[in-house]
């Protein structure tokens, strides 16, 4: 009986500390920003983009070359400020050329996590900041997707 109170105090402290730590973003090592030449090459190569919205039953495809190029021109080669393993990604995008997946992105768009992860051959390769224009464009699409629910 004399060990019961100290045990519960220890257990409560352990749970409180664990809860506090789990709510803190887990910062991960940054990858290099996407090279500007990669974006230029993809501007010419990519002919189709699929947008997959995680929090909705909504997806969009772009298959008109001018629209695809317009979006690709909004991608930034700037360095991501902060990346974290705990940030949610509301949007995954697949970029295709002649029906073949060339690369994919995870778009992180919360206040504390605003960056893009690039996956080439299913391997996380680059992390870049959003351009303001690209961010605004994607937020408008996300809001439209949420309203379509």
What is the three-class DSSP state of 47?
coil
pTM of the model: 0.78
Mean pLDDT in residue range 126-147: 88
Q: What is the pLDDT of residue 55?
A: 79
Domains of the chain: 28-148 (2.60.40)
Task: Give the pLDDT score at 103.
Answer: 97
pLDDT tens track for 36-73: 999 999 999 999 999 998 877 778 899 999 999 999 99
95-120: pLDDT as tens digits: 999 999 999 999 999 888 899 999 99
Least confident piece of the model among 16-25, 55-64, 113-122, 136-145: 16-25
Contacts 24+ apart (CB under 8 A), 24-30: 25/82, 25/84, 25/85, 25/86, 25/87, 25/112, 25/113, 26/84, 26/85, 26/86, 27/82, 27/83, 27/84, 27/85, 28/83, 28/84, 28/85, 30/79, 30/80, 30/83, 30/127
Query: 137: burial class by Cβ within 10 Å (0-12, 13-18, 19+)?
Result: middle
Q: How many residues does the chain have?
A: 149
């Amino acid at each position: 009986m004399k060990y019961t109170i100290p045990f519960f105090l220890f257990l409560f402290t352990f749970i409180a500390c664990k809860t506090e730590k789990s709510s803190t973003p887990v910062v991960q090592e940054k990858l290099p920003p996407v090279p500007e030449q990669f974006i230029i090459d993809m501007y010419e190569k990519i002919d189709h983009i699929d947008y997959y919205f995680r929090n909705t039953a909504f997806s969009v495809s772009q298959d008109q070359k001018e629209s695809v190029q317009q979006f690709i021109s909004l991608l930034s080669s700037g360095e991501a400020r902060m990346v974290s393993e705990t940030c949610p990604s509301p949007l995954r995008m697949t970029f295709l050329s002649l029906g073949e997946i060339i690369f994919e992105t995870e778009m992180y768009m919360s206040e504390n996590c605003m960056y893009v992860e690039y996956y080439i051959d299913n391997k996380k390769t680059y992390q870049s900041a959003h351009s303001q224009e690209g961010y605004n464009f994607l937020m408008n699409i996300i809001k439209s997707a949420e309203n379509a629910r």
